[in-house]
With several copies, the nearest count.
Chain A
C-alpha cells in the first residue's frame, strides 16, 4: 500500500539516517547499548509519547497546536488511578473513564478554538493549567498506586518481549497514517491546514473537522495516560511536565510543518524514536546533566536542519509557491 500520495519533502530516508547514526554512535560509545535488551526497554518506554505525538501530528496538520497534552495525560492517568485505587472500579470501566476524560478536554479545546475562533495556542495553554489543577484535585495531590490492576498494559508479550501498550501504539500509528492519506477525513485535514477558507467555500464545514481533530487528540492523550499508568503502575499528578514540548519536538523533527497542511504520522513516530534513543543513550553513558541538555538541544536542531537540507530544493520551492 503506497502511503504517500503526494510527493512532498517528508519521505522518511533522512530521519532513518539520523536514527541509525544515533544508534551507531551510542553502540560505539557504550558497550551495553547495542543489545536486544536495550531496544526492548527503549520501546517499552515510548507508547505514551507515541500516541500523543500522533494526536499532535493531526493537530499541527490543521495548523493548530496543543500545549495541554502533558497535564491532560496526567489528569487522565489520575482519574483512572483514583477509580482503581480508591473506588475499586474494574480496569474495563476505569480505562474508558480515563479516555473519556481526555476526550472531554480535547472537545473543550476544539470547541472553543474552532467555534469561537480563538487561537488554539491560547485555549490549550489555558487547558494546560486547568487540567493540571484537575489532576491535583482528583488525586488530592497524592500519587495513586494501583499496582498490578493495570499490569496487562505493561505486560510484555512472550517471545517479542515488548509490551501490549507498544503493540497498540504501533497499530495506532499505522491506522493514523492510513486515515491521513487514504480517507476523506485525512485529506480534509490537509486541506484545512493549507486553505481553510477554500474548504468552507467548497461547502465543507471546517469547524466540525477541527473539533474532531482535537477530540481525537484528546482521546489519544487519554490513551497515553492509560499507557503511562500501566507502565508506572501508579498515577502521579505531576506527571507529564513539559511533555507538550517533547511531543511537538518529535513531530517537528518528523518534518510536520507548524503552519499546517504538511506532515506524516510515520515520520512523527521516527521523531519519537530519535528522542528516545538519545535519552537512553545519554543515560547509559552517564553523561552529566548539563551536557545532556546541550546535546539534546543540538540534536533537535541538527535533525531538522539535516532533514530540511536533504530536501532543500523542494522545500524552498514549496516555500516560494505556497506563501
Chain B
C-alpha cells in the first residue's frame, strides 16, 4: 500500500486519570493497513482506543482522521466518521435477543423487504422478522450459524458472546475498525474466521487497529505493530522485521526472557491425586473421566462451548453434576465424592480460577487486598472474627509482589485496574489459599506477554512443588508449551488424551471437532490451516 498521508495520525496525546495514563503519544495508521497495538497490562492501549473512538476525551494533544481534525465528543461522532470499536469488555444486553443485540442501534431502521420503508411508524417499530432474517448472514460471518437469533444472549457462552460483539460492527461502513483483544475469548477456528473478515476489510481499504497479547496472531494478521509502554508509543515497525524477543524488550523496557517450552523434562513420580469418573451434566457434557496427577499440568483444549468451563465448574462444585463422581488419593479412592458446593471442593483441596473474572471472580468496588483474601477472612481475623489490617497485608503482599500487580493506591478499587492486573488479583487469591489441586479456566485471557510468562512460571512452580494443576485454554500454543498431558473436549465429551511428546496443533484441532456432526463447513476450514 502507498504510505502517503496517514488515515489516522495522533500527536502528543495526553490522558490523566488518577495518574498519567497516556503521555504525549504519537501514532500513525495508514489506510488499508492492520495496525497492531502491543504493550503490557496497563500500558494504556484500551485508553488510547477509547479516546480515538470518542468514549473518553484526551486532556491534550490532537488527532487527524482522513486529513480532517478529529476530536470526537462521543462514540456517535467517531462512528459518523467511520470509526468503530469492539471493546475489551462485553457490552451486550443479556435479556435481549441475539438479533436485537446485533442491530441494537438500528432497531427501528431494519425492515423486511415486504414491509414498506416509509410508514409514519418507521424508525419506531421493531420488525422482528426482518431482524431475524438479517441476523443469519452476520452470524454466519463469525461462524455462529447454529444459534437462533431469537435466543436471549444470556444463554450464550462467553466466547459466543465475544463473537457476537464482533458481528455487531461488521455491517457498518467501516473506515477504521478497532478491536481491543477480540481473540481473548476465542478458540483457533474462530480466530481463523475473524482473520478472514479482517483480510476482507483490508482489501476494501479499511484499516484495523488490532490489540492483542498473542505474538503469533500479530505476525499473521498485522502489517505494522506499535508498542506502548507506560502510555508512550516506544516503537512502530513492520511486523516482518521485528521478532518476539525485541518486542518483549520494547514492552518490558528492561530485559525479559522469551518463552520456550516449559514442559519440564525431569519426570518426577506423578502419582494420581484425583480421579474424575463418568461425570455428566444434562445438556452440557457427559461421561467425562480423567485423572489429575500431582506434579503435572493437565491442559484441556477444545472449542468454545465444548463444555470445558462446565466441567471445571462441576469439579469445583459451582454447579452440581447430575451423575458420576470424584475420588481422591487421600482416602485411596474408596470414597465417592460429589461436590455440590465450592466449600466441599475446597475442603478436598480443589480450587478454581474462574473464566469470567468480572462477573464471577472479583469484587470490583473493593481494593486489591480485600479481593485477594476473600474466602480466608478467618485466617486474618482474631478469635472474635475481628479483622486485622496487618495480617491482611501480611497474607496479600507476597502475592502482590510475586505477580507484581500494578495499582495506584492501597484503596484503589480493583474495577479501575487494567484487565490483566485484575486477572492477576484473582490468581493471587487462589495461590494464597495454598490448595493441592488448582483448576485454571483461561488463566491468561487478556493478559500481556510478560504477565503471561509470569503466570506460566507460577503454574510451573506449583507443579514443581508437587501440586496438581489443570488448565483450560483456548490458545493451542499455550496448551502445547505448558501441558505435561493434554485432554481435548469436543461437544461435551472427551475426544482425546495426548501426551506432551506427541501433542501437535493438528491433532488437537482434529480432536476438537470429533463429536460435532456439522464438521462439514468448519472442518474444511481447519484443514485449510
Q: Give yes or no for direct A-B contact (beta carbon below 8 Å).
A: yes
Tell me the A residues contacting B by CB distance below 8 Å: 2, 5-8, 182-188, 190-191, 193-195, 197-205, 261-262, 317-318, 321-323
Cβ 8 A contact of B93, one of A8, A184, A195: A195
Chain A interface SS verdict (over half): helix
Contact in complex: B359, A184 (CB < 8 Å): no
- For the A-B complex, the count of residue pairs with Cβ-Cβ distances under 8 Å equals 175
Residue of A nearest to B313 (CB): A201
Contact in complex: A195, B91 (CB < 8 Å): yes
Contact in complex: B343, A205 (CB < 8 Å): yes
Q: Does B126 contact A (CB under 8 A)?
A: yes
Q: Does B360 contact A (CB under 8 A)?
A: yes
Contact in complex: B318, A201 (CB < 8 Å): yes
Given the contacts A201-B55, A262-B95, A191 and B104 also touching, CB distance less than 8 Å:
yes
Tell me the B residues contacting A by CB distance below 8 Å: 55, 74-76, 79, 87, 91-97, 100, 104-105, 107-108, 123-126, 128, 150-152, 154-155, 316, 318, 341-343, 345-346, 352, 354, 359-367, 370, 374-375, 377-378, 381, 384-387, 389, 411, 413, 415-416, 429
Determine the chain B residues whose CB is within 8 A of the CB of A321 once the complex forms: 94, 154-155, 364, 413, 415-416
Residue of A nearest to B100 (CB): A187
Contact in complex: B96, A191 (CB < 8 Å): yes
Residue of A nearest to B347 (CB): A203
Residue of A nearest to B343 (CB): A203
Determine the chain B residues whose CB is within 8 A of the CB of A205 once the complex forms: 341, 343
Determine the chain B residues whose CB is within 8 A of the CB of A191 once the complex forms: 93, 96, 104, 363, 366, 370, 374
Cβ 8 A contact of B94, one of A182, A197, A199, A322: A322
Contact in complex: B375, A5 (CB < 8 Å): no
Contact in complex: A190, B126 (CB < 8 Å): no
Distance to closest chain A CB from B426 (angstroms): 9
A323 to B362, CA, bound (A): 12
Determine the chain A residues whose CB is within 8 A of the CB of B105 once the complex forms: 202-204
Contact in complex: A198, B128 (CB < 8 Å): no
Determine the chain A residues whose CB is within 8 A of the CB of B100 once the complex forms: 5-6, 187
Contact in complex: B385, A183 (CB < 8 Å): yes
Query: When A and B form their complex, which 9 residue pairs have the shortest distance between CB atoms, in order from nearest?
Result: A202-B375, A203-B76, A198-B91, A184-B377, A184-B108, A203-B346, A184-B385, A322-B94, A321-B154
Contact in complex: B150, A184 (CB < 8 Å): no
Residue of A nearest to B371 (CB): A198
Known A5-B370, A191-B104, A198-B374; further 16 A-B contacts with Cβ < 8 A? A5-B367, A6-B96, A184-B126, A184-B377, A185-B124, A188-B107, A195-B94, A198-B361, A198-B363, A201-B354, A201-B361, A203-B105, A203-B342, A203-B345, A318-B94, A322-B95
Contact in complex: B92, A195 (CB < 8 Å): yes
A261 to B343, CA, bound (A): 23
Cβ 8 A contact of B107, one of A184, A201, A203, A318: A184
Determine the chain A residues whose CB is within 8 A of the CB of B377 once the complex forms: 184, 187-188
Contact in complex: A323, B96 (CB < 8 Å): no
Residue of B nearest to A191 (CB): B93
Given the contacts A203-B76, A321-B154, A195 and B364 also touching, CB distance less than 8 Å:
yes
A301 to B342, CA, bound (A): 30
Distance to closest chain B CB from A200 (angstroms): 6
Determine the chain A residues whose CB is within 8 A of the CB of B95 once the complex forms: 6, 8, 190, 193-194, 261-262, 318, 322
Distance to closest chain A CB from B371 (angstroms): 9
Contact in complex: A6, B411 (CB < 8 Å): yes
Instruction: Pick from B55, B94, B389, B416 the residue with the most CB of A within 10 Å.
Output: B94
Determine the chain A residues whose CB is within 8 A of the CB of B316 once the complex forms: 201
Determine the chain A residues whose CB is within 8 A of the CB of B429 once the complex forms: 202
Contact in complex: B362, A201 (CB < 8 Å): no
Determine the chain A residues whose CB is within 8 A of the CB of B362 once the complex forms: 195, 198
Determine the chain B residues whose CB is within 8 A of the CB of A187 once the complex forms: 96, 100, 104, 107, 126, 370, 377, 387
Given the contacts A6-B95, A7-B150, A183 and B375 also touching, CB distance less than 8 Å:
no
Determine the chain A residues whose CB is within 8 A of the CB of B128 once the complex forms: 2, 5, 182
Distance to closest chain B CB from A298 (angstroms): 30
Determine the chain A residues whose CB is within 8 A of the CB of B386 once the complex forms: 182-183
Contact in complex: A322, B354 (CB < 8 Å): no
Cβ 8 A contact of B366, one of A182, A186, A194, A323: A194
Distance to closest chain B CB from A52 (angstroms): 24
Determine the chain B residues whose CB is within 8 A of the CB of A188 once the complex forms: 107, 377
Determine the chain B residues whose CB is within 8 A of the CB of A6 once the complex forms: 95-97, 100, 150-152, 365-367, 411, 413
